[in-house]
C-alpha cells in the first residue's frame, strides 16, 4: 500500500489522555493543552521517542528509505520535524509539536505491542469516535 492509501485506513491515537475530550466537556482542554505544549513538550516527545525506539527492538521499522535506521537519527528528527515510520502496511506519524502519535492501519501484532509499550511510557492508546 502507498502512504496515501494507508492514511485513508483506520487509525488509533497514542496520547497523554486516555480518550478524546468531548466537545461538551466542562473542563479547560485548550488551556491545559497550551500548558503541555509550552511546558511539557520535551518530556512528552521523549515518551514518543522512547516508545518508537523500544518498538524497534522488537520489530523492523523503516524511516525514509532506511530499514532500522540509527536511533540517533530517529531521535533528532522526531524532535524537529514530522516523522513517518513504516512497519509493513502500517504507519506511525509523529509531529514535533503534538502531544500524540497517530498509528494507521495497525495489524494485531503491532497494535498489541504498541499498547504494551505505551503503558510503560504513561501513554494511552485509543480509537477516535466513528463519524
Tens of pLDDT, residue by residue over 61-92, are 999 999 999 999 999 999 999 999 999 999 99
For 86, the enclosing helix (H) or strand (E) is strand 83-87
- pLDDT beyond 60 at 131: no
For 109, the grid coordinates are: 501484532
- pLDDT beyond 80 at 130: no
pLDDT for the residue numbered 129: 84
Instruction: Centre a 10 Å sphere on the Cβ of residue 111 and count the other Cβ atoms it contains.
Output: 15
pLDDT for the residue numbered 23: 86
Does residue 26 come out as left (phi exceeding 0), alpha (psi in the -120 to 50 range) or beta? Answer: alpha
Q: How far is CA 36 from CA 30, 61, 100, 108, 131, in A?
A: 10, 29, 11, 31, 28
DSSP-H helix ranges across 19-122 = 29-35, 41-58, 71-80, 108-121
Mean pLDDT of 116-131: 92
Domain boundaries, the chain: 3-19+29-126
Tens of pLDDT, residue by residue over 25-62, are 888 998 999 999 999 999 999 999 999 999 999 999 99
Tens of pLDDT, residue by residue over 102-112, are 999 999 999 99
pLDDT for the residue numbered 120: 96
Average pLDDT, the chain: 95
For 101, the enclosing helix (H) or strand (E) is strand 101-104
For residues 126 and 130, the model is more confident at 126
Mean pLDDT of 8-25: 94
Amino acid at each position: 500500500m502507498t502512504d496515501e492509501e494507508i492514511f485513508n485506513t483506520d487509525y488509533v491515537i497514542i496520547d497523554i489522555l486516555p480518550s478524546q475530550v468531548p466537545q461538551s466537556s466542562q473542563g479547560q482542554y485548550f488551556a491545559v493543552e497550551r500548558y503541555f505544549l509550552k511546558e511539557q513538550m520535551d518530556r512528552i516527545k521523549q515518551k514518543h521517542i522512547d516508545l518508537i525506539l523500544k518498538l524497534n527492538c522488537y520489530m523492523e521499522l523503516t524511516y525514509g528509505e532506511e530499514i532500522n535506521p540509527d536511533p540517533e537519527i530517529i531521535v533528532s528528527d522526531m524532535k524537529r520535524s514530522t516523522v513517518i515510520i513504516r512497519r509493513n502496511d502500517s504507519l506511525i506519524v509523529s509531529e514535533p509539536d503534538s502531544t500524540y502519535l497517530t498509528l494507521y492501519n495497525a495489524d494485531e501484532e503491532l497494535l498489541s505491542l504498541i499498547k504494551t509499550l505505551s503503558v510503560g511510557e504513561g501513554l494511552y492508546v485509543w480509537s477516535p469516535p466513528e463519524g
